[in-house]
Chain A
Amino acid sequence: MPDATSDPAADLALARRVAAGDEAAAAELVRALGGELYGYARKVLGDPVQAEDVLQEALLGILRGAGGYDGRVRLRAWAFGILRHKITDALRRRGRDPLAGAADPEEDRFQADGSWQKGVTFQPWDENAELMEIVRRCMEDLPHNQREALVLRAVQGLSTREAARLLEVSEANLRQILHRARAAVRRCADQKAGPGAGGGEAA
């Protein structure tokens, strides 16, 4: 990401140039943000065609709304906020509740005394397994808010506070969502990467 969107003063200056109709500034902004916004939409929505549509809507919204950017948050965080609204709209059109969550994936696996239930075992994963690819596939099965929290957490330079604000949850709630998301991905990955690919757990 060029410096133009990581320095607060430069952020504001760039947004003002766009708001004034400066085409070079608009092109700079679109190119600076495009890859990251698209990658985010692609990972959250899954469908590359829909992600591209959402990207176009978001980028246009960013250019048109540049005059309303006041520099109180970084331009990148502000832009992600616009993208999120477009993604939420897309999910609603798809008939999925963007706020749908999920219960803790492990809580039912403990005994009353707090230890793991009998029969639950965990084995080290096969080091040759393509874990990144497995994790990506497992993320696709997560509830939307968990998947989005994980991707948002990976956006470089975005603080937990900014991520929580974008997701419209408290920081404590975001930490819980992230924890459940990681636990769900771990459980899914254990079935794909454990000994014998599926032998990792005996619930």
Chain B
Amino acid sequence: MNPRILTRCRESYRVLSDWLDGRLGRADRLWLRGHLLMCQKCRHYAAQFRKVHELTTGMEVAETPADFERVVAAVLDAWRRSQRPAS
């Protein structure tokens, strides 16, 4: 194995998102895997990064406002008024 693989931490860090998003080519995946096997710091770092990736990508976005029905009514009312031709 190329000894320089041990010092490729910065490169490893830079490709983590592409790796987790499935955008890394086969050759890059192979050297990254090799680096992670050899470098404990990057292995731990990648595990944490993966967790953040999972939690942020999978988080629930939708939330209901506390008083959604009031919001709906207010919006529809304002829209209805804006639809009326000016007298």
Interface residues of A (CB under 8 A from B): 21, 23, 26-27, 30-31, 34-36, 38-40, 42-43, 48, 51-52, 55-56, 59-60, 63-64, 106-107, 110, 113-116, 120-125, 131-132, 135-136, 139, 150-151, 153-156, 175, 178-179, 181-183, 185-186, 189-190
Name the contact of A60 in the complex, choosing from B6, B56, B78 (C-beta under 8 A): B78
Seed contacts A64-B79, A124-B48, A153-B56; 6 additional CB < 8 Å A-B pairs: A35-B62, A56-B74, A60-B79, A154-B56, A175-B23, A179-B16
| B48 and A48 contacting across the interface, CB-CB below 8 Å | no
| B52 and A185 contacting across the interface, CB-CB below 8 Å | yes
B18 CB contacts on chain A under 8 angstroms:
175
| B45 and A122 contacting across the interface, CB-CB below 8 Å | yes
B16 CB contacts on chain A under 8 angstroms:
179, 182
Q: How far is the CB of B77 from chain A (nearest CB, A)?
A: 10
Give the A-B contact count at a CB cut-off of 8 A: 137
| A36 and B48 contacting across the interface, CB-CB below 8 Å | no
Q: How far is the CA of A86 from the CA of B42 in the complex (A)?
A: 41
Q: How far is the CB of A79 from chain B (nearest CB, A)?
A: 13
A181 CB contacts on chain B under 8 angstroms:
56
Q: Would A35 and B63 be within 8 Å (CB), given that A114-B10, A185-B52 are in contact?
A: yes
Q: How far is the CA of A136 from the CA of B55 in the complex (A)?
A: 9
- Does B87 sit within 8 A of A, measured CB to CB? no
Interface residues of B (CB under 8 A from A): 6-11, 13-14, 16-18, 21, 23, 41-42, 44-45, 47-49, 51-53, 55-68, 71-72, 74-76, 78-80, 82-83
| A30 and B75 contacting across the interface, CB-CB below 8 Å | yes
Q: Would A26 and B79 be within 8 Å (CB), given that A113-B7, A124-B44 are in contact?
A: yes
A175 CB contacts on chain B under 8 angstroms:
17-18, 21, 23
A51 CB contacts on chain B under 8 angstroms:
65
| A183 and B49 contacting across the interface, CB-CB below 8 Å | yes
Q: How far is the CB of A116 from chain B (nearest CB, A)?
A: 5
Q: How far is the CB of A132 from chain B (nearest CB, A)?
A: 6
Q: How far is the CA of A21 from the CA of B82 in the complex (A)?
A: 10
Main secondary structure of the interface of B (DSSP, over half): helix
| A23 and B76 contacting across the interface, CB-CB below 8 Å | yes
| B63 and A38 contacting across the interface, CB-CB below 8 Å | yes
A189 CB contacts on chain B under 8 angstroms:
48, 52
| B47 and A124 contacting across the interface, CB-CB below 8 Å | yes
B23's nearest neighbour on chain A, judged by CB, is A175
| B47 and A114 contacting across the interface, CB-CB below 8 Å | no
| B41 and A122 contacting across the interface, CB-CB below 8 Å | yes
Q: How far is the CB of A4 from chain B (nearest CB, A)?
A: 16
| A38 and B80 contacting across the interface, CB-CB below 8 Å | no
